[in-house]
Amino acid sequence: MLLISCPDRPGLVAATAGILHRHGANIVSADQHTDAAHGLFLQRIEYTLAPDADADALGADLAAVAAELGMTLERRDPTATGRVAILVSKEGHCLYDLLSRVALGDIRAEVPIVISNHDDHREVTERFGVPFLHLPVDPDDRESQQRAVLAALDAADIDLVVLARYMQIIPPWLVDRYPNRIINIHHSFLPAFIGARPYHRAHERGVKIIGATAHYVTVNLDEGPIICQDVTPVSHRDDVERLIQLGGDIEQTVLARAVRLHLDHRVLTYANRTVVFS
């Protein structure tokens, strides 16, 4: 699989397709997008190779054309299983949903660790056969806990970090360690109600829809590139508890969708936004 982004110009599709053809590759899926405002071309290509094909020679030719055309070109194995760490606090609905989907094969991933600043979800996590690490936060020394989180992620050789209602700020140095590899679920249809207690603020505002947003984490709180969102209608009859209940259902589906899209290599980021290939 290829993920490509580069300045737009004529001949880009032909350049990569021609190399794949010369090496006997069969393109089984190709999707592309041109952002005229940014002058950017983005593409996702799935292909198969004959058993006797020289994958190293193909890679060398692709690297050469990427250098010539100013491409950012990534080769990915679509059959690989990503190693996902889940971070969670008190609210466990997204954690349980993700663990269930992984166990059922709905999300192709391995979860080698769940990390929490509370001990509430140890029993359920370990019931799924996943190690649970409790790292409480000392309000007077938050960085020690954050450093312990990073050490655990590194030790588990993590590909993707998922914040499943993890109610702690991720420090910039940890964000930089996993660029575009930390996904958060925010219980609001961003950019509305950034930050804490969005359901309470939505109720106070009298909104007619509520939603959830899965996005990559950046150093700016709740402002990273959006992967996917969804909403549900609400009315004046719904109190805060009802909004939280309705919103929790959306949070689970939106977060699972975002994790699946990332692990399937269907997301490209640029200019604090994403292209999500179907």
CB-CB contact of 165 with 198 (8 Å): no
Q: Which two tokens stand for residue 106?
A: 């709905």
Instruction: Tell me which residue has tokens 């790292």.
Output: 135
Whole-number Å distance between alpha carbons of 137 and 246? 30
Annotated catalytic residue, options 61, 120, 222, 249: 222
Active site residue 159: no
Q: Which of 80, 66, 76 is nearest to 7 (CA)?
A: 66
Q: What is the DSSP string of 126-171?
A: HHTT--EEE----TT-HHHHHHHHHHHHHHTT-SEEEESS--SPPP
Instruction: Name the residues annotated as catalytic.
Output: 222
